[in-house]
Amino acid sequence: MFYTNIQNRHWNQRKLPVNQIFSTSKQLEVEDIQAKNYQLAQAKTAESISNTQRVYYLERRLFG
């Protein structure tokens, strides 16, 4: 899947003028969404690690 994404990225790419100015507000929105996604991923990872540690501790007490 990664290969197809890279391959298809340049397949039908439009030629943009060199002097075209991109909207900074759009870039800020994308950065904001990426920051929120990163924070969510960190929270989910921390929750998963905590749950794994809790299960290990409880099973160790139960069977140990």
What is the distance of C-alpha 36 from the center of its chain? 9
Measure the CA–CA gap between 41 and 45, rounded to whole angstroms: 6
Can you give the pTM of this predicted structure?
0.53
Burial classification of residue 6, based on how many CB atoms lie within 10 Å of its CB (0-12 exposed, 13-18 middle, 19 or more buried): exposed
Residues 2-15: what's their mean pLDDT?
55
What is the distance of C-alpha 37 from the center of its chain? 6
Q: Using one digit for the tens of pLDDT, what is the confidence trace for 14-63?
A: 665 555 555 667 888 999 999 999 999 999 999 999 999 999 999 988 88
Looking at residue 53, what is its pLDDT? Answer: 94
